[in-house]
Amino acid sequence: MSIPSANHFTATLMWFRRDLRAQDNAALSQALQRSDSIHGVFVFDKPILDPLPRQDRRVEFIRESLVDLDQQLQKLSGQAAGGLIVMVGDALDIIPQLAKKLGVVAVFTNHDDEPDALARDAKVRGGLANIGVGFYTYKDHVIFERAEVLTQNRQPYGVFTPYKNTWLKYVQESDLAPHPIDAFAKKLATRPTAFQKQVPTLKEIGFEKTNLDQLQIPCGSQGAKKLFNEFLKRMSRYEETRNFPAVKGPSYLSVHLRFGTISIRQLARAAHASHMLCDEGAQTWLSELIWRDFYHQILFHHPHVVSGAFKREYNSIVWEHGKIAEKLFNAWCEGKTGYPLIDASMMQINQTGYMHNRLRMVVASFLVKDLGIDWRWGEAYFAKHLNDFDLAANNGGWQWASSSGCDAQPYFRIFNPISQSEKFDAQAKFIKRYLPQLSALSDDAIHAPWLAKPIDLKAAGIELGKDYPMPIVDHATARAKTLERYAVIKKNK
């Protein structure tokens, strides 16, 4: 809902969610411009938190980023008591109750187009309406959303390339411009004395510390700024480095985009400026940012993708099931498939909560097309373990890999885990980092240890089946079985 320019409010509440920054925040900017006094709140929403393990890097990342946000708000307001209200509970109850207690007449927040979030917001809007408080939401998490980029027939795109071309045709400087904050920041209200003066500790939220510090993952807007400035120096090389997991190629900003500790407009603005100068690296990175918009509009227009295939006919595929499926899936989860690149990738996500984008595609293809496991099992595993888990992108990526989504790879395109390893980790630097037991093998042998000569395995101190598993499937046999499995799609057309 947009606010007519004539509307002005006395006291308002800014509800931070997946936008944990003060600068270039659409809803905060609107609240500041339309209000005399603004309180800021973040709710650790128990319906979201309760199912999570008590050690969850994302919760710790959020908590540390809130400390940063609290400091930003204090600095902007010019008063130490001008920080963030942080509460733990059910947002459905807390937001209307807080609005009433503070005496605000409107609540401002940014869009969240995930189905559960939309349902939650509808209920919050109703609860606020019951006490005479308005609820206003804004686009902030993407450049273009919902129905802003459509086909000539006014339909949402289902194929990326024409979507991207239209996106590039539509985008203007105004779409990438930052939302003003500083000029209105003195309207940030003093935090009421009834509320905790500091962001709650992890223990107070009901969680425990993780290895976030050891991984040296920078949190908050200051951490995002540091990563972004570092990436700008090598953005022009992004196209040539992005596919190699042992090389510093990615921006590593995905978790910051997920939780909004950096503005998508700031990133797209930098990428678009260099894109216009024909910088190949910037063009590729901008394309990745556009993919993000694309998947978000797919989720908004086609919420059935949350539980099934975008291409509904792919729901007829019969996946492996029972104890065999569970055994194969567990081997994949634990990094014990016998394929080093797959296993190293799974070790990476299990130990760090991060996985390189090329590897996400490779391990997804392996689970679905080598092991015959339902893509939704892998999607759920990533959702549990990825620091940067985003429903739209995660779902889109898994459906792409399983050939069941929009603009997905053809079902007969099946990544060979050995050739992918040889091509993108030729010297096995990545493999050796996460599978040190294979480090003594030569670069030629390490990609497929079961094909190595017995004398070489012995020299490396490796006994297959003991120090490292034998392959749980034969790729060539699995490929043939996958083609047969997917044949049902052709029959049903």
Nearest Cα neighbor of 199 from 49, 64, 301 is 64
**Tokens matching residue 303:** 């919420």
Reply yes or no on whether 450 is catalytic: no
CA 346 – CA 362 distance, rounded (Å): 11
The Cβ of residue 306 has, within 10 Å, a number of other Cβ atoms equal to 15
The catalytically annotated residue of 291, 332, 377, 400 is 291
CA 342 – CA 287 distance, rounded (Å): 26
The catalytically annotated residue of 280, 357, 416, 422 is 357
CA 20 – CA 256 distance, rounded (Å): 9
Helices and strands, number each (H, E), in the chain: 23, 5
The catalytically annotated residue of 239, 280, 313, 319 is 319
**Tokens matching residue 480:** 């043939």
The length of the chain is 493
CA distance readout (Å), 302 to 390, 392, 409: 16, 11, 19
Reply yes or no on whether 398 is catalytic: yes
The catalytically annotated residue of 167, 332, 377, 398 is 398
Reply yes or no on whether 400 is catalytic: no
Reply yes or no on whether 165 is catalytic: no
CA 487 – CA 483 distance, rounded (Å): 6
Reply yes or no on whether 332 is catalytic: no
Name residue 195's amino acid. F
The catalytically annotated residue of 288, 313, 320, 422 is 288
CA angle 146, 149, 154 (to 5 degrees): 95
| Cβ–Cβ under 8 Å, residues 137 and 111 | yes
Reply yes or no on whether 240 is catalytic: no
Q: What is the DSSP string of 417-469?
A: HHHHHHHHSTT-HHHHHH-GGGTTS-TTTTTSGGGS-HHHHHHTT--BTTTBP
The catalytically annotated residue of 167, 285, 375, 400 is 375
For the annotated catalytic residues, the residue numbers are: 288, 291, 319, 357, 375, 398
